[in-house]
Amino acid sequence: MNKKTKIITLAAVSGGGKTTVTERLSQKLINSKALYFDSYNFDNCPADICKWIDNGANYDEWVLTPLINDIQRSIQDSSLD
């Protein structure tokens, strides 16, 4: 059977329950992997997040290569659902 890895993303304000939901999903989805944005150190990201938002929040200013690489590896990992 040809299966495709599924990616679930969560977004919420600080304290909005992302970690709690992720932990519950990880318990239910045995062959899963959680990636946490806060676990990454990104080069060339905005130094002042408030100023970045005030200036229009240009997402192209973020260089998310480490996270993107981990997502791509997860998609290729046949042990994950």
What is the model's pLDDT at position 1? Answer: 47
Domain count, the chain: 1
User: pTM of the entire structure?
Assistant: 0.76
Give domain status of residue 8, yes or no: no
CA distance 44 to 64: 9
Angle subtended at Cα 8 by Cα 15 and Cα 75, rounded to the nearest 5 degrees? 135
Give domain status of residue 1, yes or no: no
Give domain status of residue 81, yes or no: no
pLDDT in tens, the chain (81 residues): 457 788 999 999 999 999 999 999 999 998 899 999 989 988 888 889 999 999 999 999 899 999 999 999 998 887 876
Structural domain of residue 69, as residue ranges? Answer: 18-76
Give domain status of residue 9, yes or no: no
